[in-house]
Structure 1
Amino acid sequence: MQGNAPTPDGQVADAPADNWVDHYAPAETRPYLRLSRADRPIGTWLLLLPCWWGLTLAMLADQSPRWEDAWIAIGCAIGAFLMRGAGCTWNDITDRHIDGSVARTRSRPIPSGQVSLRGAILWMCVQALLAFGILLTFNRAAIALGVLSLLLVTIYPFAKRFTWWPQIFLGLAFNWGAVMIWTAHAGSLGWPAVVLYLAGICWTVFYDTIYACQDTEDDALIGVKSTARLFGDDTAKWLKYFLAATVALMGLAVILAVQPTGSFMALVLALAGPWAMGWHMAWQLRGFDQTDDAKMLQLFRANRDTGLIPLIFFVLALFV
């Protein structure tokens, strides 16, 4: 906390001090909003941005933006908030016996006793059903892909128990919107969306490895695996590889989407997106210090801006 301001009752340890949940939400709703990570909105952004990438690239590919795309963009935002909340609730349900042993997570609503297991399950179902209602407004192919994503969401919390690469499983789940929302616009899946999906997975490994650096000591004690533990002292070197892969794959996705029908200027503008994104990721690496938990959290949160950068260029390319 900054200054001498009191900590709100029940505030989660890694929530921003000035978050809206702890200061403005009705007291009875706060435990459930904390369970959904509404007090830490970065995760909603990280789930939403690949959706918007997929939508804007799909519009660039067929050069036919439509008014219904405005609803798709809004539906993505609402759905990302709801599904991120449902996914985080599921994650906390499955990790309820682990979170109490990790300094950063023992203040979460279930291990701290703010929400019962039954209450968490009901809350997860409410969020998932509302998100399903949003999904039903998309075309059939997108609906099918949305339902399929539940398999990835279900598996992810268990990945850290059986693989050193749980960040890849997070990437598979968090970037599914790139293929689903491309399909919501285009009516069918295309190779640019698949390559964009792979770029998003590499980006997720990049930012979530930074995030996982906060927990390496506790994770080692309780036997939880992560890329941060796997890479160890070579983490910064590995992050450079994922930076390069993110930029290269996103650049290829742009070329596949824009080059067949778009103008030369649209292609140049769209390609500037992954290039600028790479510079922002490189800036993060310049400040990387895996022994400084506060710095790692700051860099992780900076990835909202990282993901917004290519989106801005994709939108600009629509107008040339």
Structure 2
Amino acid sequence: MVSYLGFPLVWPNGEVFGTICVSDTKENEYGEKYETLMLQFKELVEAHFTLLYQNYELQDKTNRLQKSLQEVKFLYEDLKLEKEKTKTLTKALEDKYGLGNIVGKNHKMQAIYDLIEDISQSDSTVLIQGESGTGKELIARAIHLLSPRKERPFVVANCSAYAQNLLESELFGHEKGAFTGAIRRKKGRFELADGGTIFLDEIGEIPSTTQLLLLRVLQEKKFERVGGEDTLKVDIRVIAATNRNLNQEMMEGRFREDLYYRLNVIPITLPPLRERKDDVPLLAEYFLEIYSNANSKYIRGFSEEVMQIFLDYDWPGNVRELQNVAEHAVILAKGEVITEIDLP
């Protein structure tokens, strides 16, 4: 027979983590006094290991906290960098599309500049009408960049670029399985523009069924995705543009009357370039500077003959055509002055 005395070692939470024991070959070797000593020793061992464990836990928490603080620091630096990028991008957009970038001293354009500044602070719908190439999107961007929404998205939707079923998906989005090829849910342009401005270019091209859906968005700011049942609500400003005479389209029954009046809250009509010939030299010099810098060329200006050609020409493609002519001439120019041989 042998003598044996043992006790479990227990964490403060009651979990056993070991044992402490003594044994002897002699029988009844350990009496009550020895048991008391063992219990005291057991408590010392438990206290020691508890302190070690608490110290380990504290060190682990400290390490995790330091790691988290470092991650927060990195995230803060990333956020600062992203904010600086956003500021830089916003400044670049303002430089490229701001009101100061719309060139023209003609009285018709001056009236438009004043109107843009007047309406930019409101959320009223704007309808911009004018021939192709007159700068309708540039006007829309200028309105957005002068508005309280300038930090939010400016989303462009070209209504003439899609068939009817695809146009509705492009504008309102669709659910997975809504039609053949809809392999995933897609957000539409209205949803992407939430909080900002949506620019509906070539609004006169949309079919009658889509006109009805668009009317509801203008009235209630609500819509459903194609194939969906959930009603979505958005906070947007709508700016529309067309090269058609929408009033005539309405009178002839091709454009809904109620939609026309919803869009035409603030009308802006851009004059064709042939009606603002006094702006041709300004625009030509403006584009000359842009493309000279872009192509690292030093070109002082246009010859008198070229400028006279510009003034005599009616510019059916408007400002966009003049811009393309200036770019073409700069690329082909061999000297410091644009001559007739450099023109397309």
Q: Do the structures match in fold with TM over 0.5?
A: no
TM-score with structure 1 length normalisation?
0.24
Determine which structure has the larger helix proportion and give its number: 1
Determine which structure has the larger strand proportion and give its number: 2
TM-score with structure 2 length normalisation?
0.23
Larger RCO (CA under 8 A, 6+ residues apart): 1
Which has the greater radius of gyration?
2
